[in-house]
Amino acid sequence: MISLTNVTKQFGTLTAVDNLSLGVKAGTIFGLVGPDGAGKTTTIRMITGIMAQTSGEIKLLGSLDAEKVKEQIGYVPQKFSLYGDLTVMENIQVMGALYGADKERVEELGTNILAFTNLLPFKDRLADNLSGGMKQKLALAAGLMHRPKVFFLDEPTTGVDPVSRREFWQMLYRLNKEGMTIFVSTPYMDEAELCSEVAFMSQGRIVALGTPARLKADYPFRLFELKAEGKQLKHILADCPLIDVNAFGDRYHLVAESPEVRPKVEAALQAAGITRFSLQEISPSLEDIFVHLAEGGAS
């Protein structure tokens, strides 16, 4: 479905994507995860033919030329790019016309897609007057007007409220169940958990690739969750044989080589006068893995 082989993109002396190779199977939800500047948007733009690679080979739907298969792909960019001074339905009509559908067909498809995205009650509202979540739903609807085989979405839920994010992903799942391949970049680890396969990208390179379950199984350390009242916990635990201490809300994740660290952590807390705490070993989340990789764990 999608294949990249030794793909590099340079902007002058800056290497945005560095010798990247990956493959995406048909019928999957593929997640590209990484911090800002990792190269996610550049990668999507190269695959969709918006931008040419400096070197390497990109094959999309069996073609080396994205222009030849553009009618079979959909794309939702990171920034809302529809017309704010047009209504929801007018934007849909414009997109339908761009893909060559006749007026009656556009009306039929537009009504169905707006119903699918729960935007039909707002079809006469100006796009500029939509909330952030509704704008992203409109962008999704516009990208679906020609029923693409593969759908690219570049951080589609950034800045969107949690309820809208959940609704958006429910729609992606429904599309995927109907056979559509989804390629999505996201900064959210809970969204990465929903993907069939995930690639972690850092400084233009893929540093880890696999299913969420496989990536968790390959995590090389033992992980403990600590909840305790008190400040400067990192300082208190400084003499414990821990690889890392990371804050997760009101809890801390302690990374260790072995479970033998537990009594030493308990002793350090008690020595500091902290007697009320909970400490338990847990399985890693994708966020734990991302933190590990971002700190150079893939090297």
Residue-wise pLDDT tens digits, 219-260: 999 999 999 887 788 899 999 999 999 988 889 999 999 999
- Measured in whole angstroms, the distance separating CA 54 from the mean position of its chain's CA atoms is 25
Q: Of the spans 66-70, 158-162, 231-235, which averages the highest pLDDT?
A: 66-70
Tokens 């006749």 found at: 102
Average pLDDT of the chain, as a whole number: 91
List the beta bridge partners of residue 202. Answer: 205
Q: What is the pLDDT of residue 299?
A: 41
Rounded mean pLDDT of 134-158?
A: 90
Q: Is 126's pLDDT higher than 70?
A: yes
CATH fold of 2-216: Rossmann fold (3.40.50)
Between 71 and 44, residue with greater pLDDT:
44
Percent of the chain with pLDDT over 90: 68
* CA–CA gap between residue 244 and residue 255 (Å, rounded): 5
Domains 2-216 and 220-283 share a fold: no
Tell which CATH architecture fits domain 220-283: 2-Layer Sandwich (3.30)
Rounded mean pLDDT of 191-210?
A: 94
* CA–CA gap between residue 295 and residue 276 (Å, rounded): 31
* CA–CA gap between residue 283 and residue 217 (Å, rounded): 9
Contact at 8 Å (CB) between 189 and 24? no
* CA–CA gap between residue 285 and residue 280 (Å, rounded): 15
Q: pLDDT confidence of 199, banded at 50, 70, 90?
A: very high
Q: Please name the residue ranges forming H helices in the chain.
A: 40-47, 88-98, 103-116, 132-143, 162-177, 189-192, 212-217, 233-236, 262-271, 286-292
Q: pLDDT confidence of 296, banded at 50, 70, 90?
A: low
CA separation (Å) from 220 to 90, 189, 250, 263? 53, 19, 25, 21
Q: Kindly list the domain boundaries of the chain, sorted by start residue.
A: 2-216, 220-283
* CA–CA gap between residue 1 and residue 183 (Å, rounded): 11
Contact at 8 Å (CB) between 33 and 186? yes
* CA–CA gap between residue 49 and residue 167 (Å, rounded): 29
Q: Is 298's pLDDT higher than 70?
A: no
Q: Is 297's pLDDT higher than 80?
A: no
Tokens at 241, concatenated: 């044989």
